């Protein structure tokens, strides 16, 4: 800070930085990269792919649940799925998943508003947003089962 009532700005590019760098996160990321040998990476990807298949299959059996997708189910994809539940507000479903089941999901249009709105319209979905479940290295078969069971409980009156 300069004299009373004035500010002094750093020169570019430093003045555009958002704050203290995430040093601990960078160190942790480097450690994970060192630990993930090609064999471990393949095992992780295979496990996540298997779990995504189980989640998508479980959600597909629930009446009123609609997966949002552009491609066929067999198309390679990242380990996420977005869906809606007919007649239910996605934000309220996400809140119920968190409050009643201890499950965190994302809700909204996912920084892809035109695409998500297109997918919602294509499915004639009543909700104006969707729910997204993301799988990762810490996701287990039990987590997938809990999510599918919780969605079934919420979707079934």
Quote the pLDDT of residue 124. Answer: 58
Lowest mean pLDDT among 74-83, 84-93, 117-126: 117-126
In a domain, 27, yes or no: no
In a domain, 5, yes or no: no
**Containing domain of residue 94, as a range?**
37-155
In a domain, 31, yes or no: no
Quote the pLDDT of residue 27. Answer: 95
Quote the pLDDT of residue 91. Answer: 93
26: left (phi over 0), alpha (psi -120 to 50) or beta: alpha
Cβ contacts of 36 within 8 Å, gap of 6 or more: 44
User: Active-site residue numbers?
Assistant: 111
Q: Is the pLDDT of residue 7 over 80?
A: no
In a domain, 17, yes or no: no
Lowest mean pLDDT among 18-22, 86-90, 128-132, 145-149: 18-22
Quote the pLDDT of residue 122. Answer: 65
CATH number assigned to the domain comprising residue 143: 3.90.1150.10
User: How many other C-beta atoms are found inside a 10 Å radius of the C-beta of residue 156?
Assistant: 10
Render pLDDT for 12-59 as a digit per residue (tens, 0 to 9).
777 677 778 889 999 999 998 898 899 999 999 999 999 999 999 999
Q: Is the pLDDT of residue 96 over 90?
A: yes
Bridge partner residues of 80 (DSSP): 134
pTM for this one? 0.77
In a domain, 107, yes or no: yes
In a domain, 25, yes or no: no
In a domain, 21, yes or no: no
Number of domains in the chain: 1
Quote the pLDDT of residue 140. Answer: 95
In a domain, 93, yes or no: yes
Question: How far from the centroid of its chain's Cα atoms is residue 53's Cα?
Answer: 15
CA dihedral angle for residue 29, residue 33, residue 35, residue 36, rounded to 10 degrees: 130
Render pLDDT for 107-134 as a digit per residue (tens, 0 to 9).
998 888 888 888 888 655 556 889 999 9
Mean pLDDT taken over the chain: 88
């Amino acid at each position: 800070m300069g004299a009373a009532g004035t500010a002094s700005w750093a020169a570019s590019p430093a003045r555009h930085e958002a704050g203290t760098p995430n040093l601990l996160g960078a160190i942790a990321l480097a450690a994970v990269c060192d630990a993930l040998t090609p064999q471990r990476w393949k095992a992780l990807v295979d496990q996540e792919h298997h779990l995504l298949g189980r989640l998508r299959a479980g959600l597909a059996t629930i009446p009123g649940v609609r997966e949002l997708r552009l491609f066929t189910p067999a198309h390679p994809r990242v380990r996420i799925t977005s869906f809606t539940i007919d007649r239910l507000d996605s934000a309220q479903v996400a809140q119920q998943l968190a409050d009643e089941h201890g499950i965190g999901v994302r809700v909204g249009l996912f920084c892809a508003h035109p695409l998500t709105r297109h997918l919602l319209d294509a499915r004639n979905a009543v909700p104006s947003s969707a729910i997204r479940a993301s799988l990762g290295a810490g996701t287990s078969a039990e987590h997938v089962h809990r999510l599918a069971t919780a969605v079934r409980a919420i979707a079934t009156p």
